[in-house]
Amino acid sequence: MAIDNKLIKKKRMMGYFIEAASNIIENEGLEAVTVRKVASLAGYNSATLYNYFENLHHLVYFASVKYLKEYVDCISSNIKFAKTPIDKYLCIWKCFCEFSYDKAQIYHMLFFNQFSDSFVDVIQEYYQIFPEELGEHPEEVLEVLLKQNIYERNSTCLKAYVKNSDILYESLESINEMILLVYQSMLYRIMNNQVNYTNEEAVKITMNYIKKTLLSYGLIGQ
């Protein structure tokens, strides 16, 4: 019982700080988040915050994972309508693009930031503490959602849903790299206001290039 109470307290306290950081991100942007601001908004002192997070970057990562919920819910709602394995793969990517382009700075920080390698288990840790935000998914989808490294996320997804094993075995690294170069480039350009695409246009362009990549390797038909 004591252990359960500790876990409940940890979840509650972390929730206060995560919610405070999320409010600052939403209203002022990522760069406005400071330990002092978060602690003040949460109603605790900075020392208490450090009982639950290693540093500011650790807290910001946790607060950013919260923004993945819309993407996770999108997969849950839409993947059941996919008729083939490759349709499921494309569905997962479409959902990811839709929500990441809308929150480009946050998704870029989560998956391409210089601190990404320092917090490789944040996503898994977050969902262990807040499992209700993950929901229920097929095992192969959960395996993707729990990975922090975006290269591993996509290669895992490819292995799960692209069934031409001979081509995939020989060219997985190249296919993975090409798709992520397309996605990262679009995300970066949106984040830095280098394009005037609507979210819908950016998603359509990205999905078109993902399909062309798969087509060029003979993984989908014309």
Say which CATH number the domain at 29 has.
1.10.10.60
Domain that holds residue 44: 2-53
Calculate the average pLDDT of the chain: 90
Residue type, 123: I
Shared domain for 86 and 167, answered yes or no, is yes
How far, in Å, CA of 159 to CA of 89, rounded?
Answer: 10
Q: Indicate whether 47 and 80 sit together in one domain.
A: no
Give the N- to C-terminal CA distance of the chain in Å, as an integer: 59
Report residue 116's pLDDT band, with 50, 70 and 90 as the boundaries.
low
Counting the structural domains of the chain, the total is 2
pTM score of the predicted model = 0.88
Question: 185 and 97 share a domain?
Answer: yes
Phi-psi region of 185 (alpha: psi -120 to 50; beta: other; left: phi over 0): alpha
Verify that 78 and 159 share a domain, yes or no: yes
Residues 8 and 41 in one domain: yes
What is residue 1's predicted lDDT score, i.e. its pLDDT?
Answer: 44
Mean pLDDT to the nearest integer, 61-86: 91
pLDDT at 113: 76
163 and 198 housed in the same domain:
yes
Q: Out of 24-38, 63-77, 122-136, which region has the weakest mean confidence (pLDDT)?
A: 122-136
Region of 34 on the Ramachandran plot (φ > 0 left; ψ -120 to 50 alpha; else beta)? beta
CA torsion sign for 7, 57, 24, 125 is negative
Averaged pLDDT for residues 59-73: 92
Across 187-198, average pLDDT: 96
83 and 178 in a common domain: yes
